[in-house]
Structure formats: C-alpha cells, structure tokens
C-alpha cells in the first residue's frame, strides 16, 4: 500500500473513533416529570430539593418539577399531566391532588407507555408501578397517642384536616381515630377541613375556640394548618392551654415545637420523598424493576428532640 493512501486511511479511522467517542459523550436525554400538589410551601420546596438532588446523580436525566398553584387546583394538575403525556416523557412521578379526577389521565399515560410512580398520597389505581411515601395512618396514630399523653388522657379535642377525599388526610384522620379509641376520657368534638391552607386553618381554629372554649388539644393533618391554628390560639391568649400537634415537621413547625408554641409534630422526611420518587422514576424509565412500595418513614418530634430535625 502506498504511504499516502495508508496515511489517508489512518486519518479516516481516527476521525471515526473520535466521532464515536463524541456520540458516547452525548448521552440521550431522559425526560422525567415530577408533578407535586403545589410548590407554595416549605414542605413542597423540600420535596423538590430532594428530587433535584436525585436527578443530579444521573447526568442523562432531565427533570421537570411541576405543580398547580394551590393544592385545591386539581384541574391544573390534570392539565399539567396531559401536557407531559403529549410531550412523551420517559416517566412520571405524581403526588395526586384528587384520585377520581386523576385516574382517567393516568390511564392515558399508561396507554401511551409512560410508567407512573405515585408518591406522597396513595390512590387505588392498579396500574401504578410503585407508591413512594410514609405510612400516613401510622403518623396519625402517633399524633393521637402523643396528644393522649400530654393531656393526661382526658378532655375535648378537635381535628383540622386537609382536602376531603385526599387519601393522605383520610389516612391521617383514620390513624388519629385509632389512637384515641383506647382513651375513653378523650372526646373528639369536631373534624373541620381547612384544605391544607394556613389562613383558612386560622379561621377554622377561631371558630372552634368560640364553640368549644374547653378544648384541650387539636390535631392538624399538616403543618400549614397546625401553624395557622397556633396563630389563632395565640391571638386568644391561650398559648400553652390548647395543645396543637401537626404533621410534616417543616423547619418552621419544628422551630415552633422548640419554642413551645407547637406541642409536637410528626416528621415525614420531604427530601427523602422527592429523592426516592425520582429514583423510582429513573428505574422505571430504564425498564428496570421497581419496588411496589417504598417507605420513607415517620417519627415523633417533641421539644426534647426537635434540634435534631433542624439539621
């Protein structure tokens, strides 16, 4: 072979190798959407942070974190999901705002070949690949048992709960009722919705204090409502006389526990929730096996251990 021809072939070979290496460096992007209930609170921002942390470990993953403006805006969440199905994302991780409204659109995602991970709030939808979350019923029971303890097993209590029909709040309420069942001295006099909103919970709490001036404790099924209840109690100069226990253990709520304004809280680990939801979605997008249930955990937060939950 003539030297000139040999050199030409060598240059072509080097060029092909370089092109192949370049293609390997340009990994095909995997689009995953995490659709939360809202992003208007510390809780959901921490879920988002956990999700984004997980996505960074996978350079090929392009994560979109989306949500309606408020948790009550179910139609907005449906529209977001429909848009992601149209975009043919590789996987969806969804915290459902309402089961009845979402199941038809999730069925469309399944029909389009898009795997769906349900997180935070479980729904009775047989086609979900996995549920990622905490045991909300156990969390409600922990709250009830702590309230029974701090009020000495007797007195009138009330519940301020989230949106009717949302399983997270249904389960937390059911767990609370389980927890007070063996305390005959405890009377649950009211269960009022406040849609997971602080201002509405404050108004609900004001009405409860007017109607039940001898109330000794309140269980709120998330921290936004618990903090709203605390504000209403303080406005009536009743701090320390009506105990409030919430769920989520946001930093603001834990600081309120530390200061004695909130009697206790139940930690639900939002960063772990977002992280595990994305990890499950990445596996699903790759066609790998995904555990049917991924437990994130829950724990009682009191004044004695609150500092540990602020790290």
18-62, pLDDT tens digit by residue? 444 444 445 689 999 999 999 988 999 999 999 999 999 999 999
Q: Give residue 26's pLDDT.
A: 58
Q: Give residue 237's pLDDT.
A: 96
Coil, helix or strand for 95? Answer: coil
Q: Give residue 107's pLDDT.
A: 97
- Alpha carbons 252 and 233: distance in angstroms, whole number: 17
Q: Give residue 253's pLDDT.
A: 96
Nearest CA-CA partner of 60 in 285, 288, 277? 285
Among 8-17, 166-175, 222-231, where is mean pLDDT lowest?
8-17
Q: What is the mean pLDDT of residues 172-184?
A: 96
For residue 76, what pLDDT band results from cuts at 50, 70 and 90?
Answer: very high
Tokens 């149209």 identify what position? 86
Record: fold of 30-132+271-295: Rossmann fold (3.40.50)
Q: What is the mean pLDDT of residues 171-179?
A: 97
Q: Give residue 27's pLDDT.
A: 66
Among 2-16, 17-31, 46-60, 234-248, where is mean pLDDT lowest?
2-16
| Mean pLDDT, all residues of the chain | 91
Question: What percentage of the chain exceeds 70 in pLDDT?
Answer: 91
Radius of gyration of the chain (CA): 25
- Is pLDDT above 80 for 296? yes
Q: Are 212 and 231 in contact (CB under 8 A)?
A: no
Q: Are 246 and 301 in contact (CB under 8 A)?
A: no
Buried b (16+ CB within 10 A) or exposed e, 62-82: ebebbbbebbbbbebbbebbe
Residue 246 phi, psi dihedral angles, 5° rounding: -115, -175
For residue 1, what pLDDT band results from cuts at 50, 70 and 90?
Answer: very low
Assess whether the region 30-132+271-295 and the region 136-267 belong to the same CATH fold.
yes
- Is pLDDT above 90 for 65? yes
- Alpha carbons 213 and 229: distance in angstroms, whole number: 14
The domain defined by 136-267 carries CATH number 3.40.50.2300: yes
All structural domains of the chain with their residue ranges: 30-132+271-295, 136-267
């Amino acid at each position: 072979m003539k030297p000139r021809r040999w050199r030409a072939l060598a240059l072509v070979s080097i060029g092909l190798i370089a092109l192949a290496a370049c293609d390997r460096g340009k990994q095909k992007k995997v689009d995953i959407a995490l659709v939360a209930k809202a992003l208007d609170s510390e809780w959901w921002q921490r879920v988002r942070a956990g999700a984004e942390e997980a996505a960074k470990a996978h350079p090929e993953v392009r994560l979109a974190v989306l949500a309606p403006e408020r948790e009550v805006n179910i139609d907005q969440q449906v529209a977001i999901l429909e848009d992601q199905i149209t975009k043919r994302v590789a996987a969806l991780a969804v915290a459902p705002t309402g089961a009845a409204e979402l199941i038809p659109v999730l069925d469309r995602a399944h029909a389009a070949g898009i795997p769906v991970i349900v997180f935070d709030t479980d729904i009775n939808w047989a086609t979900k690949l996995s549920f990622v979350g905490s045991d909300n019923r156990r969390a409600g029971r922990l709250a009830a048992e702590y309230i029974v303890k701090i009020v000495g097993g007797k007195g009138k209590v009330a519940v301020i709960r989230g949106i009717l029909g949302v399983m997270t709040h249904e389960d937390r309420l059911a767990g609370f009722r389980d927890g007070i069942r063996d305390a005959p001295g405890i009377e649950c006099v009211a269960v009022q919705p406040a849609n997971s909103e602080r201002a509405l919970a404050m108004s609900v709490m004001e009405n409860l204090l007017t109607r039940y001036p001898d109330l000794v404790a309140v269980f709120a099924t998330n921290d936004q409502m618990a903090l709203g209840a605390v504000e209403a109690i303080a406005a009536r100069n009743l701090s320390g006389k009506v105990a409030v226990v919430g769920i989520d253990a946001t930093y603001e709520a834990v600081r309120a526990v530390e200061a004695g304004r909130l009697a206790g809280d139940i930690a639900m680990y939002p960063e772990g929730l977002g992280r595990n939801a994305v990890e499950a979605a990445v596996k699903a997008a790759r066609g790998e096996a995904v555990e049917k249930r991924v437990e994130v955990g829950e724990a009682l937060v009191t004044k004695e251990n609150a500092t540990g939950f602020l790290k």
